[in-house]
Structure 1
Amino acid sequence: MPEFGRLSGSIGQIELDFVEREATPAFLMKLSIQLHLSGLSLSNTVRVLEIFGVKRARSTVHNWIHKADLQPASGKNPDHVAVDETVIQLNDEQYWLYAAVDAETNELLHTTLEPTRTTMIAQTFLAEVSEKHDVSEAVFLVDGAQSLQTACRRKGYDFRYEKHGNRNAVERVFREIKRRTICFSNCFSNASAETADDWIRSLSFAWNQLI
């Protein structure tokens, strides 16, 4: 029952303002979006729709997710923020995923997908985090990534090196994202970096609802 309650609450937060004409009932659109973001493949998601007598293509469900523009809620006030970067494969290219996670709640605060990693990009990422959340008093937990350490220093943030402990929060998030991109690679087949970036933000939204 608690799991169902979280799922129902998450569905209620999905807005369908992008819909103009759509024959699919709103609840089934929201359900399919949530099911896929929670771990169901696109193929199995459309099979669930078929149970309700609705036939839709996998690309249709994928487009719903993209157009819904889901992302983590802003306005958080975390005490400790775990930040990190990791490589994500997009078609034949490698991109760098930057993520900030509330180390105490495991909530994703912000993500961005970049074609490379530099100190300037790290600074921009931290600036985006600060625009969305009150991190002025937060302690940033970083590993050996020099670009993030330098960016924290230049921004005047309190930070400390931590390889394990509370930093495990961001590592768990990265493992889940990589598991999903491997299992459901059809999400990124022939996709632009912008589409992949949107999908990861949508996944972040679902992650925060179900943790």
Structure 2
Amino acid sequence: MSKITRLSGHRDWIDLDFVERERTPEPAIGFVIQSHVAGLSLSNPIELLADLGVERSRKAVHDWVQKADLQPESGQSPNQIALDETVIRINDQRFWLYAAADPETNDLLHIRLFSTTTTSLTEIFLRELQQKHDVEAAVFLVDGAQHLQTALQRAGLRFQMRRHGNRNAVERIFRELKRRTSSFSNCFSHVEPETAESWLQTFARWHNATN
């Protein structure tokens, strides 16, 4: 078990309260979650655990990631917020990933996955963002998408059209997300959208912790 203990490292961003009844040591679970979100497929952590004498299934690894219920921490007060959306494919269907990032820290502030993109859904996203962070004084950086601008106007939030510069913070994160999701067919095939959204929120928490 000493080998597993040495794998614990810096994983304070992973809340392991859910493992009360798990027969797998907490350091091993934290290691597997971090390894998977950081770039390994579901199969790789299983092989790593096997080397340590711990036999677990792909489903067990998947369930740990879901049960951890990780997402970006709240309580930030950004000066600027890069707001954008991109298409994520799940089971050959298109979904829209909304994301808000702080360009000064490159942290993801909030992400959500929706089945379509409308002004009303953007308003829901903004309300959730306002509940999590102090954004009233922030300037939102958006592209020419009219529904984003309309939703911000309705919410009484300031915004600027910006196609380059600080708004590229969220674009860089999107590129990494798309690279990751396209390489893991087992993550976004044969899953429910809620499962994909949970993985994406876990990715956001990991991204912020290692940024």
Q: TM-score range by the shorter chain?
A: over 0.9
Q: Summarize deviations over 1:93-141 as a string: whole Å, max 9, x none.
A: 1101000000111100000000001001111111111110000100000
Aligned to 2:3: none
Query: Taking structure 1 as the reference length, what is the TM-score of the superposition?
Result: 0.93
Structure 1 alignment gaps of length 5 or more: 1-6
RMSD between superposed Cα atoms in Å? 1.2
Do structure 1's residue 110 and structure 2's residue 113 form an aligned pair?
no
Aligned partners of 1:177 and 1:28: how far apart in 2? Answer: 25
Structure 2 contact 13–209 (Cα < 8 Å) conserved: no
Shift of 1:17: 2.0
Aligned to 2:4: none
Corresponding pairs, count: 204
Shift of 1:49: 1.0
Aligned to 2:125: 125
Aligned to 1:164: 164
**What is the one-letter code of the residue matched to 1:87?**
V
Aligned to 1:48: 48
**What is the one-letter code of the residue matched to 1:14?**
I
Q: Which runs of structure 2 are paired with 1:1-211 in the superposition (5 Å)? A: 8-9=9-10, 11-211=11-211
Aligned partners of 2:114 and 2:209: how far apart in 1? Answer: 25
What is the aligned-residue identity percentage? 54
Aligned partners of 1:64 and 1:38: how far apart in 2? Answer: 15
Aligned partners of 2:56 and 2:112: how far apart in 1? Answer: 30
SS in structure 2 of the partner of residue 55 of structure 1: coil
Shift of 1:156: 1.1
Shift of 1:55: 1.5
Structure 2 alignment gaps of length 5 or more: 1-7
Aligned partners of 1:105 and 1:39: how far apart in 2? Answer: 22
Deviates more, 1:49-58 or 1:119-128: 49-58
Aligned partners of 1:92 and 1:187: how far apart in 2? Answer: 13
Shift of 1:13: 2.8
Deviates more, 1:190-199 or 1:14-23: 14-23
Query: Taking structure 2 as the reference length, what is the TM-score of the superposition?
Result: 0.93
Shift of 1:198: 0.7
Aligned partners of 1:125 and 1:21: how far apart in 2? Answer: 35
Deviates more, 1:16-25 or 1:79-88: 16-25
Shift of 1:92: 2.1
Aligned to 1:4: none
Deviates more, 1:14-23 or 1:88-97: 14-23
Q: Summarize deviations over 1:77-105 as a string: whole Å, max 9, x none.
A: 00000000111100021101000000111
